[in-house]
Amino acid sequence: MPAHLVHARPRPQVADAPAGPAAVAVLRTAALPLMGRLPLLAERLMAELAEREPAYRAAIEADPADVRQEIQRSLRHSVGSLLDPARSRAAARACSARIGAERAARGLPLDAVLHAFRLGGALIWQALVDEVTTRHPEDAHLLVHLAADVWSFVDEHCTRVADAYRQAERELTWRRENRRRLMAAALLDGATRIADLPDAAAELELPERGRYAVVLVAGGRGVRQPVPGALRAVWQPGPDVERAIVALGDREPAQLAASYRELTDRTRGVRVGISPAVDGLAAVGAARRLAETALRICPVAGGTVLLDDDLPAALVAAAPALGRLLADRVLGPLLALPPTDRDLLLDTLTVWLDCDGSAQRAAARLYCHRNTVLNRLRRCEQLTGRSLARPSNLVELGLALSAHRMRQS
């Protein structure tokens, strides 16, 4: 605890020996009149808090009646504990814990609450000293035996306040985080009502009318780093897939994809699907569905797929039954070959398409002669009945290959 709080007011010297019956009797005699002066003591403590504790000054200005009631309740329980500890201390402890929890809920700093309790303890002690020295000066020498008990009481209640405050703070943090998780999940699932969008935007610190993309990450728990630091991302963890709402600002999804490709190129098994850009939080649910399609066409071995870059494959993924039918109709004779021949021809056709129809570049990637590539492609044409020179046949073959890859994965 900061020193300026612990020593808010100098403590009196205390005796090593515990207070005896005579000292306890003096304590109770002095405490009894304080019960009738609680409103005056509460006003004095409020004035001292307003002068010395900025956080309480703001609370007093906002709702003086509430602070006054809290102070009076705390002082009443404290003085009651001095008069009859056996019957009153449990209620006093509960009162202190309640104040700690309530002040945590209202966002008052813990240091300020503890400062208030120590100022209250000092106020009660001074009132006891004044009462004894004024009315029973012959008993003043016994005060030194009472100081330890009074300040031990104050310390105990500061501990209870701090414990209750921290427990309430943990619960509030959990509730806030859970509320944020639920709001993010509702946006991603497309379940947020239009009327609730402003609240969701405020809670998640996202612009309601901004540009967004959704990122889905599978096979890599906690892989969040590639989102550029300038972009605001709200993550929603899941058992198999982590989902993120990314506020793009003036960026493009392609920049997100480039960041993630650097990761997936060096981390095997991590699969990332990224949606196109959408406008407004209301469209995040639709973006999530598009990101799921991107993730479905991502290779099993890992990689990053930006849906904008692979829309033909996305069409196949969106209608898997039609995709299977297309693969069987177009590639059926080729797929019926022995596995070695089948895989060789499929790989050659795939690489040739990836190389934009360049047999020379395909040969370099396949480590064979250009004529070997051309011979294999002619065989593909014969088996499928499709000509690689006809654009419509090329579209069919490309979609059929995508459908076959997805079926295999």
Comparing 86 with 275, which gets the higher pLDDT?
275
pLDDT at 181: 92
- Identify whether 75 is part of a domain: yes
Query: For 350-378, what is the mean pLDDT?
Result: 93
Res 16 pLDDT > 50: no
Strand, coil or helix: what is 319?
coil
- Give the closest residue to 343 by CA, choosing from 286, 293, 404, 391: 404
| Contact assessment for residue 129 and residue 143, using Cβ atoms and an 8 Å cutoff | yes
| Contact assessment for residue 247 and residue 210, using Cβ atoms and an 8 Å cutoff | yes
Q: Are residues 169 and 204 in the same domain?
A: no
pLDDT at 11: 47
pLDDT digits (tens, 9 = 90+) for 220-239: 665 656 676 678 899 988 88
Residues forming beta bridges with residue 215, ordered by sequence position: 244, 274
Domain harbouring 365, CATH code: 1.10.10.2840
Q: Are residues 109 and 209 in the same domain?
A: no
Q: Are residues 286 and 374 in the same domain?
A: no
Res 264 pLDDT > 90: no
Domain that holds residue 394: 320-408
Residues forming beta bridges with residue 211, ordered by sequence position: 279
26-62 in b/e form (b: 16+ CB < 10 A) is bbebbbeebeeebeebbebbbebbbeebebbbebbee
Domain count, the chain: 3
State the Cα–Cα distance between residues 376 and 344, nearest whole angstrom: 8
Query: For 350-371, what is the mean pLDDT?
Result: 93
Q: Are residues 137 and 67 in the same domain?
A: yes
pLDDT band for position 409 (cuts 50, 70, 90): low
Query: For 8-36, what is the mean pLDDT?
Result: 67
> Which residues 6+ apart lie within 8 Å of 199 measured at CB?
183
pLDDT at 12: 47
Last residue of a domain, one of 275, 309, 343: 309
Res 382 pLDDT > 90: yes
- Give the closest residue to 304 by CA, choosing from 233, 237, 213: 213
pLDDT digits (tens, 9 = 90+) for 161-201: 999 999 999 999 899 899 999 999 999 999 999 999 999 99
Query: For 145-157, what is the mean pLDDT?
Result: 84
Q: Are residues 154 and 251 in the same domain?
A: no
